[in-house]
Amino acid sequence: MQITAGRRAFSILSSKIHPQLPLSPRESQQLLSLLTTSFRQHLDREHPVSTPENDHMSRPRNTTNLNTSIAPRSSQSSASKHIDSILTNPLFAVKPQRRGSDSLKAGDAQMLLKDPLKWFLDQVAAGTADIPKAVICLNMLKRISKAAGAEASHGSQYESKPGSQIAKWLWSSDLENSRPFLENSHKLIDKLVPVLVREGEEAPLWRWLEGSPQQRIDETGLELVQLRGFRIHLLKTIISAKIASENSLDGAIKIFLQAVKLMDSPEYGIRAAGIVLVNHIITHPGHTANPKLYDAFLRSILWTRGGTLIRALLWLQHPTNPTARPGLLFLQSPSGARLQMQSTKKRPLFVQLCLGVARQLLAEQNYADAQWTLEFAREYFPDLVSEHQPVQEKAEPNMEQPCKSSRQNLSEQENLQMLDRLLPG
């Protein structure tokens, strides 16, 4: 051991006295081969090569007959993907410009107005990009699209997928794991999430939602309540963006159900996101949704103690089998609606439930229960059901106007706030 240490010290000392000569072409090639072999061995150790035979043995039996071809993964393909991600990073792909002159600042302003994404990528290449500049970029893209018309939202400004590029910058710079991103990202989340959803790039969103809370706290120094606030806002924004970008509720319900499995506690945003979905369903009677997904959403309503009333409202809006029975049973329950009617905060929801149940019962030609429901509504909401109007089978046409007017009187924001108060965590 002492001889080896002495030789190493002598080698270091001699290299300072007599610097090493440049490597010959043959020696350079040998060194390159050694480095390449070492690199591939490391990749093979971290990402073991999988062959079709191994995949066949590891796959479940019921998937062996799938008509798909499975190509073996190799260290070469892993290295290629890794190198591609490096080379496409703006730090390497964009040539930085010198900064400082007034003319260049004016040029930056012109570039921001003309091509916000290019302006932002220049900032990334120069190492001066930050979260506020990403927000500026997204704001300018939205402003340009509005000025050009609705069709511009899918035009040249978005062909280069700015949301994906900004998300890639957050990942490559490790900002997405930083305190500034998690603590002060509401403005960025509000602008970036709808763009990512429209681009079909949802992997970054799940990356931000997943992960150990304790690990995030250790990395950033945040309090648990701050991390919860970030995830609550993020998931709620994802659900809202999904609803706005699709004609069906299927995408939003799928994300919500996946989040329920991943984050089975209200502290991770299930409740807030659920309120957004419920509000959209009860205020948009013409919604479309896959019946199986809708049923799964109904079964998932365990994230709130106000689930009985909400479930009754949702059954009225079922895409294929609307029914008034859950709502009728809730209204007739001595320990249910009658005890909760005293709360003025919940009144708008009970109005919708009463009128919705009565209308559905009339549609089902269940006139006796419809009459009871209208009498119940007359007792608790005399201003909506005329005291002098006889309740009879022909009352069905008169149902539409009060129900419609009550919905019109509720703005979406008011409804969300009312639901939020109704559904305690």
SS3 string of 192-204?
HHHHHHHHCCCHH
Q: Map tokens 């005291």 to a residue.
A: 387
Q: How far apart, in whole angstroms, are the C-alpha atoms of residue 236 and residue 130?
A: 24
Q: Output the pLDDT for position 324.
A: 95
How much is the pTM?
0.69
- Mean pLDDT over each residue of the chain, to the nearest integer: 74
327 near 357, Cβ under 8 Å? yes
Q: Output the pLDDT for position 92.
A: 55
**How many of the other CB atoms lie within 10 Å of CB of 407?**
17
Q: Output the pLDDT for position 67.
A: 39
The single-letter code of the amino acid at 254 is K
Q: Output the pLDDT for position 71.
A: 41
Q: How far apart, in whole angstroms, are the C-alpha atoms of residue 227 and residue 52?
A: 42
Q: Output the pLDDT for position 9.
A: 55
Q: Output the pLDDT for position 155.
A: 47
Q: How far apart, in whole angstroms, are the C-alpha atoms of residue 402 and residue 351?
A: 10
Look up residue 73 and give its DSSP letter.
B
370 near 358, Cβ under 8 Å? yes
Q: 164: closest CA among 133, 129, 186, 134?
A: 134
Long-range contacts of 224-227 (CB under 8 A, 24+ apart): 226/182, 226/183, 227/182
Residue-wise burial string across 342-359, b where 16 or more C-beta atoms lie within 10 A, e elsewhere:
eeeebebbbbbbbbbbbb
Q: How far apart, in whole angstroms, are the C-alpha atoms of residue 33 and residue 271?
A: 56
For 369-399, write each residue's pLDDT tens digit.
999 998 888 887 776 554 434 333 333 334 3
Q: Map tokens 């699709």 to a residue.
A: 246
The length of the chain, given as a count of residues: 425
Residues of the chain predicted below pLDDT 50: 13, 51-73, 101-104, 151-155, 267, 386-410, 422-425
Across 292-386, where does the E strand assignment appear?
none
**How many of the other CB atoms lie within 10 Å of CB of 62?**
7
Q: Output the pLDDT for position 64.
A: 37
